[in-house]
Every structure is written in C-alpha cells, then in structure tokens.
C-alpha cells in the first residue's frame, strides 16, 4: 500500500493512542508505516497505556514513545507538545475515545495528546472506537459533528460488527488497511479537499460475458486501479460512485464511504454508467470491458462435447463512446487504455476516436504494473496535446498524481 519513493519532509506521522481495546490494531499501522520508511512517533495517553505498553509502540516505531509523565516532568528545552506539533506533517488519533473526542470538540487540553493537537496545524485523521450505545449518545454525535466542521479533521467512521463487549453494532474502529490508505492519501494531498463539491463516477474491474453458467469471456482486471482512484477522490472531498465488475471480498472491504454499484456484463455496466451519468462532474472509465460476448448463452452448463468448435460472437455496447455522446459540456470524460508494446499511439487513437478529454495509457506487459498488482505506471494524454509520464509507484500514489494533473489540466 505504501510507496517508498515518496520520501523526505512530508512523511512524518504522529500517532496518538487514547483508551480503548482497539488500540491493539494500531500496532499494525505503526509497524507498516515504519517498514515503509515513514518517520513515526507515538503519543500514548494514560488510558492508552492501560491497553498498549509504551515499549511495544517504541519497538514498532523505532523511537521512544511519548507519555503524559514525560510531558509534565519536562523542565528543559522547548515544550514537548510544541516540538511534536511542529514536527508532525500528519496526526492520527486511533482509537479516538469518547473522552478525547469531547476534549477536541471543545478545544480542551489536559494531556500531551490534546495539547499537541492544539499546538499543531497539520491535518488530523480520526478513527473512533467505542461501545455502540456510547457512539450513539446524542452528546457524542454532537461532538463528532462539531469537530468535523473544522477542515483540519478527517474521519474514518467506525464500522459495524461484534464489539469487545460482545455487542453487535456500530463502534468498531476501522481496519488497519483502511487507516493506512487514508494516511497515505493525506500525506500526498496535505489534507486539501480540492474535489469537495464534485461528484466522481468511476468504472473499474472486468466484465464477464457468459457462454454458460460456468464459462465466460473476461480478462484479469482486478479493479484495484479504479478503487484507488475512488479512494483518492473520496479522501480529497468528492462524492464517489464506483461501478465495478466482480470483486473479491478483500477489495469490497475497501469501499467504505463510496457508493458501490456491482455489475457483471458490459450491458449491465452500460446501464449503470448511463444511470449515474447525469449527477457526475468527472467520469473515469477505468474498467476493462469485454469487447465481445458469445452470441448465445446456455442456461445450464454445456458438456465438453457440446462446446462449439467455432464460437459465434456478438458485439457489446461501446460504453465510453456512448458516454461521450451523452455527456453535458461541463462533464469531463477520462478513459483508460491498457496496452502492450508502445502504449502511446493506440491510446492517442482511442482518445481522438472516442471523443475523450484525456486518456491514461498503462502497460500490461511490464513487470510491476498492469492487471492484478498493487503498483502501476502510466502516461496521461489530454486532447490538447499535453503528455505526462508517471513512473512506477503504488496505484494509490498514481491515482493521486492523476487527480493532481487532471485538476490542473486545461480542457
């Protein structure tokens, strides 16, 4: 999920751990960040120390943990909360307890963590965790809404499931992978919400055109690139609709906060994209859509002996061309072209032939990019002739680079 190529001053994360059993999940976040070369420091509240020893997070972060005892006992040098607040490029509070939430909502500071928040200006990522009844209290929800009115604060809402108290309900802290993804988004964007007020419509994954209930024409597209584009846009303030082909459960788990529309065939995707087109400001056609389908589809599995020696084929809808014809003047349409060999000429041809504003060409015959992996590389081409080469990186990093470029592009 991380990209070691993004190094330097921007990669300094301060993790604050308040009281809650979900604190054990944060160990995975700290370890992953440190292994990726991110500078990590950890502040433990007194309640957080009841769940996670300072030695544990110090070992995982490769740096001594900061505690309230260190804060109150400091007698020399600059105040610790000032030093930490100026050092951090991103502050993450996970788990965020009801107690710490209430303090932040009202600008209170009675420990090292809350003092550091007030002494900093960087973005703050909040991952609440608490019992369902606690989370649903009017006072807690009022504090939550009030805090999020401040643009500094970014939220990962708690999920639903079995809690440590054996209650089934909302209150589970977000999973480490979700927190890590949001962290890397904020490290890239600096917390800016430059897509706020925009509705983004994205297609991703492959489509399947069945010969019978078992066999189909398809391709290896996993949907990871489109999901990364959706996550990056969401983290930058957009409302996102993602029309996706079949996804495995691990990828479906990444869709929190995104309006997800599952489809199977090219015709299904065509209908879904047209349905959601009127609300979109940006349309990104990242799906790898089948070019043809079997002319007939059997309702039961065909025996091997009954398979045709020559398979009659029929066309499927040209989704991106239809979107280009039906879109409004203010809507921007971005295509994708997965290619082998010299990827630019066929992408340019598709850009012009389909009436796109821009196209993203990416190689599928180069190690470490293309279908299925977590990394990719691309060339962005616009209808006005601009060309931007994006070297190998994580798909999330590539997604942010694409949004950076598209928001600056002239169409």
- By annotation, the residues acting in catalysis are 165
CA 164 from chain centre, in angstroms, equals 27
Take residue 271 and report the two structure tokens written for it: 């209908």
Q: 3-state class of 66 per DSSP?
A: strand
8 A C-beta contact, residue 92 and residue 184: no
Closest by alpha carbon to 308, among 218, 219, 206, 215?
215
> Quick one: residue 196, left, alpha or beta (phi over 0 = left, psi -120 to 50 = alpha)?
beta
Q: How many CB atoms lie within 10 A of CB 12?
A: 17
Tokens representing 272 are: 């879904």
Tokens 């400001």 — which residue?
281
Token pair recorded at residue 78: 């600059």
Q: Where are the alpha helices (DSSP H) in 277-341?
A: 319-326
Residue 411, Cβ density class (10 Å: 0-12 exposed, 13-18 middle, ≥19 buried): exposed
* Dist. CA 285–CA 229, nearest whole Å: 11
Upper half-sphere CA count for residue 38 (Cβ side, 13 Å): 30
């Amino acid at each position: 999920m991380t990209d070691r190529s993004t190094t330097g001053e921007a990669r300094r994360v301060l993790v604050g751990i308040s009281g809650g059993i979900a604190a054990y999940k944060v160990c995975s976040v700290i370890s992953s960040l440190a292994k990726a070369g991110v500078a990590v420091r950890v502040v433990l509240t007194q309640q957080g120390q009841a769940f996670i020893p300072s030695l544990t997070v110090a070992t995982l972060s490769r740096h001594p943990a900061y505690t309230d005892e260190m804060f109150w006992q400091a007698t020399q040098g600059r105040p610790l909360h000032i030093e930490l607040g100026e050092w951090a490029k991103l502050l993450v509070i996970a788990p965020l307890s009801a107690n710490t939430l209430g303090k932040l909502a009202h600008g209170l500071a009675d420990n090292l963590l809350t003092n550091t928040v007030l002494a900093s200006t960087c973005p703050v990522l909040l991952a609440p965790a608490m019992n369902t009844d606690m989370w649903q209290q009017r006072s807690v929800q009022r504090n939550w809404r009030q805090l999020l009115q401040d643009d500094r604060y970014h939220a990962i809402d708690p999920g639903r499931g079995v809690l440590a108290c054996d209650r089934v309900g909302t209150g589970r802290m977000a999973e480490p992978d979700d927190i890590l993804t949001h962290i890397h988004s904020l490290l890239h964007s600096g917390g800016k919400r430059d897509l706020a007020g925009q509705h983004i419509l994205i297609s991703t994954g492959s489509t399947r055109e069945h010969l019978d209930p078992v066999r189909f024409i398809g391709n290896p597209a996993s949907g990871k690139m489109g999901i990364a584009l959706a996550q990056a846009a969401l983290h930058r303030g957009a409302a996102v609709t993602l029309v996706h082909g079949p996804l495995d459960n691990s990828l479906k788990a990444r869709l929190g906060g995104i309006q997800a529309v599952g489809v199977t065939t090219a015709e299904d995707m065509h209908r879904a994209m047209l349905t959601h087109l009127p609300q979109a400001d940006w349309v990104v056609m990242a799906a790898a859509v089948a070019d043809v389908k079997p002319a007939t589809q059997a309702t039961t599995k065909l025996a091997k002996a009954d398979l045709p020696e020559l398979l009659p084929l029929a066309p499927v809808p040209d989704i991106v061309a239809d979107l280009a014809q039906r879109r409004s003047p203010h809507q921007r349409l971005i295509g994708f072209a997965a290619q082998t060999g010299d990827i630019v000429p066929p992408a340019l041809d598709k850009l012009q032939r389909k009436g796109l504003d821009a196209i993203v060409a990416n190689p599928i015959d180069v190690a470490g990019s293309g279908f299925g992996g977590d990394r990719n590389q691309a060339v962005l081409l616009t209808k006005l002739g601009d060309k931007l080469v994006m070297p190998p990186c994580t798909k999330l990093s590539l997604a942010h680079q694409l949004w950076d470029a598209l928001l600056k592009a002239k169409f």
